[in-house]
A and B are shown apart, each in its own frame.
Chain A
């Protein structure tokens, strides 16, 4: 999901998707096999840090965080041999920039049956940028229950934080300038897996 202020619009949500291809001059920084390897590594890190991941609940942030969350859940199931609860957390109603845009369509919040009270919640998102999405997600979690702890897994950390927030599990640290765009494409939504680094079209 995107979070941005007016200075830093991230393009992956706000521009129409053109058949899964990015801007003309965008270059891939992660390809399909890289993404698979990265997710496997993050899954192992979660198991290691959570000492077996017994009370882990994965919550993906729509749209692409949900797909990443499901993929991570599959990897965790392979590693631990147990099914890991996975759901989605829509943060639209908790955004701090609601009044700066027309109202957005809402996405699905799906909390696994046993809830999140006393569990280790791992939030999953595609790109970590300003950190405002994660702030909104923490607020949303507050209204749903009281986890034992909350951690954050992201596929790409592109820097430029505007809040004191960091990720616990990072697929790839990608130093970027504010003039650049980072676009994550996933097979479930876009037909292929890749991360594209491009230049913002209209300054």
Chain B
């Protein structure tokens, strides 16, 4: 059983569609005068953030509160972690407090997996982004946004993204969003093309279920959705391209390029955007850009994931990864 959500690759097609369908109903709660459901009353969720985040943390917190869970926020800054406490000791502290779920963001790839499978803790673990590895709820909310825009709100129920062509542009090398999206979109039947300067394409991309191109203009007319990624300067320890101007000229999305996309195609961005770098203000503010929608959809997706992992006596989503049992 899926007790944890660590990687988008762990989800089967049916699991993913169930999460999207559940999120569609959760989205309707946002339209009500009282945006709250009693479903997770008495359950405690800790948001354990070792890395900076605005929208993901706020989004998870909103989702947890709308489901009536008790929320504890933990940021590494100003905690015992800055005094040198290990992940294990932090985890055991939380376990002693009787926590039901841990939402973790960590700079080290694999930290959520370690937390879930080490036996330190009984709580469900939800990965809110680990290093350059995975960010599964982001991939789910992106898929949700695409399904709503490309298939339709009600028409989309029960449907996957079969046959849709999705292009992901930018800093693939450092992007957990790209990795999660490739895994999930492939599971949902979409064809993914990655576009980036050769220096920002990771080694081993040949084994990913997607195609790679270095020519944005050739790919744009064949795309149903174009996802622009931020160039992650904070993870860069070398020069990956000559100048920002050259990057943005070859891989940035401006009005002219957007005009070459099919009529129905949408522009997506996981945020935060750097206007003038990977995306121009003209594109970012256009109707075809779904950035604000993605934020709203993030709350619905996270509500769905929390409900499906914590709402019953056992999770509704099956797990494909065999969980290590360790001696505690």
Which A residues fall within an 8 A CB radius of B?
90, 93-94, 98-109, 139, 143-145
Binds A, one of B28-36, B55-63, B110-118, B230-238: B28-36
Interface size, chain B (Cβ < 8 Å):
21
Q: Complex formed: what's the CA distance from A94 to B307 in Å?
A: 12
Interface residues of B in 23-43 (CB under 8 A from A): 25-26, 28, 32-34, 36-39
Q: A93-B38, A144-B32, A145-B33 are in contact. Are A108 and B25 (CB under 8 A)?
A: yes
Task: Please state if B312 and A101 are interface contacts (CB–CB under 8 Å).
Answer: yes
Binds A, one of B132-140, B205-213, B249-257, B313-321: B313-321
Q: Does B131 contact A (CB under 8 A)?
A: no
Which residue of the partner chain, among B18, B25, B311, contacts A90 with CB atoms under 8 Å?
Answer: B25
Residues of B within 8 A of A102 (CB): 312-316
Which B residues fall within an 8 A CB radius of A?
18, 21-22, 25-26, 28, 32-34, 36-39, 307-308, 311-316
Q: Complex formed: what's the CA distance from A106 to B29 in Å?
A: 12
20 contacting pairs across A/B (C-beta < 8 A): A93-B38, A93-B311, A94-B37, A98-B311, A100-B312, A100-B313, A101-B313, A102-B314, A102-B316, A103-B308, A103-B312, A103-B315, A104-B316, A105-B18, A106-B25, A107-B25, A108-B25, A109-B25, A143-B34, A144-B33
Q: Complex formed: what's the CA distance from A172 to B80 in Å?
A: 65
Task: Please state if A93 and B312 are interface contacts (CB–CB under 8 Å).
Answer: no
Q: A100-B313, A143-B32 are in contact. Are A106 and B38 (CB under 8 A)?
A: no
Residues of A within 8 A of B313 (CB): 99-102
Task: Please state if B28 and A109 are interface contacts (CB–CB under 8 Å).
Answer: yes
Residues of B within 8 A of A101 (CB): 312-313
Distance between B115 CB and nearest chain A CB, rounded to angstroms: 22
Residues of A within 8 A of B37 (CB): 93-94, 143
Q: Complex formed: what's the CA distance from A109 to B24 in Å?
A: 11
Which residue of the partner chain, among A103, A107, A139, contacts B316 with CB atoms under 8 Å?
Answer: A103
Q: Which residue of B lies closest to A100 (CB)?
A: B313
Distance between A114 CB and nearest chain B CB, rounded to angstroms: 14
Distance between A147 CB and nearest chain B CB, rounded to angstroms: 13
Task: Please state if B21 and A105 are interface contacts (CB–CB under 8 Å).
Answer: yes
Distance between B87 CB and nearest chain A CB, rounded to angstroms: 29
Q: Which residue of B lies closest to A99 (CB)?
A: B313
Distance between B97 CB and nearest chain A CB, rounded to angstroms: 20
Task: Please state if A144 and B312 are interface contacts (CB–CB under 8 Å).
Answer: no
Q: Which residue of B lies closest to A117 (CB)?
A: B33
Residues of B within 8 A of A99 (CB): 312-313
Distance between B98 CB and nearest chain A CB, rounded to angstroms: 15
Q: Complex formed: what's the CA distance from A72 to B26 in Å?
A: 28
Distance between B43 CB and nearest chain A CB, rounded to angstroms: 9
Q: Which residue of B lies closest to A146 (CB)?
A: B33
Q: Complex formed: what's the CA distance from A101 to B26 in Å?
A: 20
Q: A90-B25, A105-B21, A106-B22 are in contact. Are A139 and B312 (CB under 8 A)?
A: no
Residues of B within 8 A of A143 (CB): 32-34, 36-37
Task: Please state if B307 and A103 are interface contacts (CB–CB under 8 Å).
Answer: yes
Residues of A within 8 A of B22 (CB): 105-106
Q: Complex formed: what's the CA distance from A90 to B26 in Å?
A: 11
Q: Which of A90, A93, A103, A106 has the most CB of B within 10 A?
A: A103
Distance between A171 CB and nearest chain B CB, rounded to angstroms: 29
A-B interface, 9 closest residue pairs, ranked by CB to CB distance from nearest: A103-B312, A106-B25, A103-B311, A103-B316, A143-B34, A93-B37, A102-B312, A93-B39, A102-B316
